[in-house]
Structure formats: structure tokens, C-alpha cells
């Protein structure tokens, strides 16, 4: 009876934290779908250009995700301990890192967008449109860097629904503004690619305003400038020891994944356009997986902060099973959606052929992604273990997947479908090491301190 009651409470806890995150992920995926849907009426070239240019946004997102992970790892455990003052100090450290990276990225997009686009493609029209996108998109990175940290803090302190509401307002604003600027509603000119970038920047501004409003009403942790400049040596060491591998892990993975776009980008517009649509469908299929994975980091982090080590281990098994189930459901979703996507996409015949093949590959690929996401980015990081993921993804992406992709595409000149299939073996190659580390339970640790300034 005791076990049954514990399981019931755990599932309730998972639902309370995971469902808002799943909704947030669903909205995020829906916005990406809306972008592609609207750009589909502009043309294949517009879809390809935005897809390539937004790779830089994806890299920044993963940097912010890594920084936010450091905030979550410490924040969730200190929340479990009941120490809200330290959580605000953790927030300051997170903002210091996120703003620094975002400012560098924004300046790069403003000053050298042409060089950035040439990395992905040699098509002059794609480069021209990408330059326009990056220059207007640049300010959104700075706004985003502030919002990402504060919403991570909100999730740590149990305000998951509030965090989701903020994201929802920003994402819905993005869709509405996209429609206005792309289609020229209310008498405005049709801006196409320019409209997508402008809508993104304006929606991030709206998101920041929402964060400030929530902060003004929140009694636990507020969004302040002062903690950014405070010095807490021991806490800083803890944060850096966890966040640098986490950032490194997410950057290594995102840049490596971005290299897939570099490879496909040099294989032609058809491959890029097909991959752009597949990415959106895959993200929709991963909504449940990512939601449970993010919830795992918060739930297990709080348990470990309360010194409930054995309960955290037991809960991790439940979360892993749920994620595998979510991955299978995600694959079924992609399979079911395939006929609709094929009927809707306004692509060339060659691009449609690539699209169908890529969709079929992602039916099983999602499960591989699901398992690695919950274990590396959720379970391991809950106990402050971000170094394993960094080493694992460095080897997987940069010693295996990326070299294999370049070899297949440019040395062996294999067909696009074969290259794509080989790239999509990356998630499964690392399973043996990931599961071995999981069952070692080296990640199950309480990482809080009594004296943060020592």
C-alpha cells in the first residue's frame, strides 16, 4: 500500500510539473510549424533561408539551455532545501553568463551576417535573405537571454504554470505577428523573411515585459540586476563546475547538429527545404519526451536536495519508462502526420522525395532522442552531473557523426538519403555508455552547501 501511495504521489508530481512544460513545448513547436506554414506561401527559397539562418538561434538557445540547466540544477536543490536567498544568487550567476553570450552573438549577427551564412550555403539568394533575417533577429537574443534564466528559476521554485504562461504569451504573439508581417495584414506591406525576424524580436520583447510583471508580484525570487555583480566564491565554483560542462555539452551537441544542416545545405536547396519541414514535424513528435525530460531534472533535483537519494533513484526509473513510451508515441504521431505533410508541402518533386524518406527515418529516431534527453539532460544533471554528457556528446558528435556525414557527402558522394540516414544513427550509438552511467547511480548526489560564501 505504501509503494502504491508513493507511486500515485509521484505521478501526480510528474503531471503537475510536466504538463505545463509539455504545453510550453507544444506551443513552441506550433510556432515553428506556423512559421513554415506561412513561409510555404512565400516559397521554397524563403523556407530554406530562414531554416539555415535560424541555426544560429538554435545554437544560442542551446547555450541558454545549458546555462539554465546550471540554474535548474542548483535552484531545484536549494528549493528542496528551502533556501530562497541562495536561489536569487544563482539567478544572478545565470544572467551573468547568458547576457555575455547573447551580446557576443547579437553583435556577430549585426556585423558579420554574410560570413555566418556562407558557412551553411554557397547559394547567393539564400545568403542574401539570411543576412536580412540575422540583422533583425539579433536584438532578440539579448532579450531572450534574460527571459530564459528567469523562466528557469520560476520552474525551479514550483511556478511551472507561470513560466509556461509567459512562454505561451510570447509564442502566440510570435504567430500573430508573423501573420501580420508575412501576409501584410492591416494595410502593412508583405515582408516575408524580414517579417519572420521582426516578429521574433517583438515577441521576445513582450516576453521580457511579462517576466518583469511576474517578478514585481513574486515574493520568492525577483528579476534583479544587482545579483549579477555580487561575488559568492563557493557558489560560483559550484555553478561553474556544473554549468561549463552543461553549456559545453549543449553547444557541442547543437553545433554538431547544426553541422548536419551545413552538410545538407551544400547538397542543395531541395535537401535543405525537406530537412526544414522534417525538423518541425520532429519537434512536434518530441513534445512529450522533452516535457518529461525537463520535469525529471526538477523533480529529481528537489528530491536530491531533500537528501531523498533512494527515492530519486526509484523515481528516475519511472520517468525513464514514461519517456520511452512518449518516444514511441511520438514516432507514431510522425507516421500518422506524414500523409498530411506530403499533401501540404509546396516543394519540388525531388524535395518531396527527400521529405518522405526523412519523415520515415524520424519515426524511430525520436525514441533515441527521448532516451538520451531524459538521461543526459534530465536525470544526470539533477545531481549536478553534467560532465558525462559533455564527454559523451563530444565523442558522439565530433568523432563519430559529423566526420561520418562529411565523409559520406563529400568524399564518397553518397546520395542525400544515405547521408541523412547515417547522420540519424548518432542517438543510438551512445546508448550503451549512457545506460551504463545511469545504472552506476554516480549522478545521485546532494550538491547544496550550508555556507555559500566560503
CA contacts within 13 A on the Cβ side of 43: 10
Q: Which DSSP category does 200 fall into?
A: H
Average pLDDT over residues 55-63: 77
Q: Render pLDDT for 375-419 as a digit per residue (tens, 0 to 9).
A: 988 888 887 787 888 888 889 888 999 999 999 999 999 999 999
Nearest C-alpha neighbor of 374 from the set 284, 295, 281, 283 = 295
Extract the C-alpha cell encoding 449: 552547501
The predicted pLDDT at position 417 comes to: 93
Which whole number is the average pLDDT over 245-269? 78
pLDDT-based confidence at residue 80 (cuts at 50, 70, 90): confident
Alpha-carbon span 14 to 161, nearest angstrom? 13
The mean pLDDT of 420-429, rounded to a whole number, is 92
Examine the pLDDT at 115 and tell me if it is beyond 90.
no
Q: What ranges in 189-232 are assigned the alpha helix state H? A: 193-217
Residue 8 in this model has a pLDDT that exceeds 60: yes
Residue 122 C-alpha cell reads as 554557397
Evaluate the CA torsion angle 124, 125, 127, 131 in order and state its sign: positive
pLDDT of residue 2: 57
Residue 32's alpha-carbon distances to 212, 270, 307, 365, 383, in angstroms, are 25, 19, 40, 20, 32
Where is average pLDDT lowest: 41-50, 95-104, 109-118, 196-205? 41-50
Which helix (H) or strand (E) segment is 324 a member of?
helix 309-344
Residue 61: predicted pLDDT: 77
* Distance separating alpha carbons of residues 131 and 108, to the nearest angstrom: 11
| Cell numbers linked to 215 | 517578478
Per-residue pLDDT tens digits for 137-179: 899 889 989 988 888 888 877 787 888 888 888 888 888 898 8
Mean per-residue pLDDT for 237-248? 75
Which of the two residues, 305 and 136, has the higher pLDDT score? 136
pLDDT at 414: 93
Look at residue 240 and tell me whether its pLDDT is greater than 80. no
pLDDT at residue 451 tops 60: no
Q: How many Å apart are CA 134 and CA 268, to the nearest integer?
A: 21
Q: How far is it, in rounded angstroms, from Cα 191 to Cα 115?
A: 24
Mean pLDDT computed over every residue of the chain = 83
Per-residue pLDDT, 436: 94
| pLDDT tier for residue 135 given thresholds of 50, 70 and 90 | very high
The span from the first CA to the last CA of the chain, in angstroms, equals 45
Among 66-70, 303-307, 393-397, whose mean pLDDT is lowest? 66-70
pLDDT of the residue at 346: 76
More confident residue, 92 or 243: 92
Average pLDDT of the residues in 293-320: 85
Let me know the angle formed at the C-alpha of 256 by 132 and 431, rounded to the nearest 5 degrees: 145
Q: Minimal CA–CA distance to 260: which of 406, 136, 49, 417?
A: 406
Q: Which pLDDT belongs to residue 6?
A: 62
> Which phi and psi (to 5°) does residue 371 adopt?
-65, -45
Average the pLDDT over 19-37 and give the result.
68
Amino acid at each position: 500500500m505504501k509503494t502504491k501511495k508513493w507511486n500515485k504521489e509521484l505521478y501526480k508530481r510528474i503531471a503537475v510539473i510536466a504538463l505545463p512544460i509539455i504545453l510550453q513545448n507544444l506551443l513552441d513547436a506550433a510556432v515553428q510549424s506556423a512559421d513554415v506554414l506561412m513561409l510555404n506561401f512565400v516559397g521554397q527559397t524563403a523556407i530554406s533561408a530562414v531554416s539555415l539562418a535560424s541555426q544560429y538561434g538554435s545554437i544560442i538557445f542551446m547555450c541558454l539551455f545549458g546555462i539554465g540547466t546550471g540554474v535548474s540544477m542548483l535552484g531545484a536543490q536549494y528549493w528542496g532545501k528551502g533556501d530562497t536567498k541562495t536561489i536569487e544568487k544563482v539567478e544572478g550567476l545565470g544572467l551573468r553568463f547568458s547576457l555575455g553570450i547573447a551580446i557576443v552573438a547579437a553583435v556577430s549577427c549585426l556585423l558579420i551576417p554574410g560570413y555566418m551564412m556562407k558557412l551553411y550555403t554557397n547559394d547567393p539568394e539564400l545568403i542574401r535573405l539570411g543576412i536580412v533575417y540575422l540583422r533583425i533577429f539579433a536584438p532578440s537574443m539579448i532579450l531572450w537571454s534574460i527571459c530564459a534564466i528567469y523562466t528557469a528559476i520560476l520552474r525551479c521554485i514550483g511556478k511551472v504554470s507561470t513560466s509556461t504562461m509567459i512562454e505561451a504569451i510570447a509564442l502566440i504573439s510570435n504567430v500573430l505577428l508573423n501573420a501580420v508581417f508575412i501576409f501584410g495584414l492591416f494595410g502593412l506591406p508583405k515582408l516575408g523573411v524580414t517579417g519572420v525576424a521582426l516578429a521574433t524580436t517583438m515577441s521576445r520583447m513582450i516576453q521580457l515585459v511579462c517576466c518583469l510583471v511576474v517578478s514585481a508580484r513574486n515574493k520568492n525570487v525577483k528579476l534583479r540586476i544587482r545579483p549579477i555583480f555580487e561575488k559568492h566564491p563557493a557558489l560560483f565554483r559550484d555553478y561553474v563546475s556544473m554549468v561549463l560542462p552543461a553549456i559545453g555539452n549543449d553547444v557541442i551537441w547543437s553545433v554538431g547538429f547544426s553541422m548536419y544542416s551545413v552538410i545538407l545545405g551544400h547538397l542543395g536547396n531541395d535537401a535543405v527545404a525537406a530537412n526544414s519541414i522534417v525538423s518541425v514535424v520532429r519537434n512536434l513528435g518530441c513534445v512529450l519526451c522533452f516535457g518529461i525530460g525537463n520535469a525529471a531534472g526538477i523533480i529529481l533535483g528537489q528530491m536530491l536536495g531533500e537528501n531523498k537519494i533512494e527515492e530519486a533513484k526509484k523515481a528516475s526509473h519511472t520517468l525513464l519508462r514514461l519517456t520511452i513510451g512518449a518516444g514511441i508515441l511520438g514516432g507514431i504521431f510522425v507516421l500518422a502526420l506524414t500523409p498530411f505533410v506530403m499533401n501540404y508541402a509546396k516543394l519540388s518533386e525531388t524535395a518531396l522525395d527527400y521529405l518522405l524518406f526523412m519523415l520515415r527515418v524520424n519515426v524511430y529516431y525520436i525514441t533515441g532522442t527521448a532516451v538520451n534527453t531524459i538521461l543526459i539532460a534530465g536525470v544526470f544533471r539533477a545531481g549536478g552531473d553534467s560532465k558525462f554528457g559533455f564527454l559523451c556528446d563530444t565523442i558522439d558528435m565530433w568523432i563519430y557523426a559529423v566526420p561520418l556525414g562529411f565523409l559520406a557527402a563529400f568524399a564518397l558522394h553518397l546520395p542525400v538519403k544515405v547521408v541523412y540516414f547515417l547522420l540519424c544513427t548518432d542517438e543510438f550509438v551512445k546508448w550503451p555508455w549512457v545506460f551504463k552511467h545511469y545504472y552506476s547511480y554516480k549522478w545521485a548526489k546532494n550538491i547544496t552547501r550550508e555556507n555559500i560564501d566560503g
